[in-house]
């Protein structure tokens, strides 16, 4: 069992009605911290995301995956700030799982707004993962075990290329990545 408890959190003060927060702690495997998500779908996607963090943290406790230091220098399209290598890996691992989950949701949800939302999230997560994966795969800091995991992530991401989201969602996701990269570049070169 991956999930044994959900630790309640207060929602962020400036979140508005749809806002919530969640997180995991490496030393608390089986627990997810979360305020109340606005919908069942939000809850499900949050659990996918946070449980990936828990799994990767547990694996990294068992076997070193890389030798990279804590320097914050990597672009992660889901964050405005430079990420340390470990933070980049955590984000990649969770966003790859989210892409797989949203793709499944888009395929099984009847036509309508919920399906369009799933396609948009699939496109976003797939493209975010694709934009950040080269930094992980190209790193010389990976251990042999880390290399195996990274190669598996590449294979999983490659499988996502078999099903493109609708063109409009894909174009918006790619535009989002370009904008995020431009903003990140400006912020990190000042």
Give domain status of residue 165, yes or no: yes
> What value does the mean pLDDT take over residues 126-146?
97
Give the model confidence (pLDDT) of 33-73 as tens digits.
999 899 999 999 999 999 999 999 999 999 999 999 999 99
% residues pLDDT > 70 (the chain):
99
Read off the pLDDT band of 13 (50, 70, 90). Answer: confident
Give domain status of residue 112, yes or no: yes
Give domain status of residue 148, yes or no: yes
pLDDT at 190: 63
> What value does the mean pLDDT take over residues 91-96?
98
Number of domains observed in the structure of the chain: 1
Q: What is the pTM of this model?
A: 0.94
Query: Which residue range is the domain that position 67 belongs to?
Result: 63-189
Give the CB-side neighbour count of residue 107, counting CA atoms within 13 A: 9
15-19, 32-36, 80-84, 172-176 — most confident range: 172-176
Give domain status of residue 43, yes or no: no
Q: Where are the alpha helices (DSSP H) in 63-161?
A: 85-108, 113-137, 144-160
Lowest mean pLDDT among 21-35, 59-73, 104-118: 21-35
Lowest mean pLDDT among 76-80, 103-107, 129-133, 139-143: 76-80
Give domain status of residue 30, yes or no: no
Residue tagged 């030798």 (tokens): 67
Element (H, E) at 177: helix 167-189
Read off the pLDDT band of 128 (50, 70, 90). Answer: very high
Give domain status of residue 54, yes or no: no
Give domain status of residue 10, yes or no: no
The answer to whether 52 touches 92, Cβ cutoff 8 Å, is: no
């Amino acid at each position: 069992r991956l999930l044994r408890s959900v630790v309640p959190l207060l929602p962020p003060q400036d979140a508005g009605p749809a806002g919530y927060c969640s997180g995991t702690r490496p030393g608390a495997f089986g627990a997810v911290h979360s305020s109340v998500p606005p919908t069942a779908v939000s809850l499900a996607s949050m659990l996918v995301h946070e449980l990936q963090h828990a799994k990767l943290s547990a694996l990294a406790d068992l076997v070193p995956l890389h030798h990279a230091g804590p320097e914050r220098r990597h672009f992660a399209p889901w964050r405005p700030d430079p990420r340390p290598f470990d933070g980049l890996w955590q984000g990649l691992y969770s966003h790859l799982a989210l892409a797989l989950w949203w793709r499944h949701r888009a395929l099984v949800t009847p036509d309508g707004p919920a399906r369009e939302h799933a396609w948009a999230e699939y496109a976003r997560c797939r493209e975010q993962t694709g934009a950040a994966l080269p930094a992980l795969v190209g790193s010389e800091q990976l251990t042999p075990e880390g290399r195996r995991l990274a190669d598996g992530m590449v294979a999983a991401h490659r499988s996502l290329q078999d099903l493109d989201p609708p063109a409009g969602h894909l174009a918006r996701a790619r535009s989002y990545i370009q904008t995020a990269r431009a903003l990140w570049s400006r912020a990190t070169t000042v």
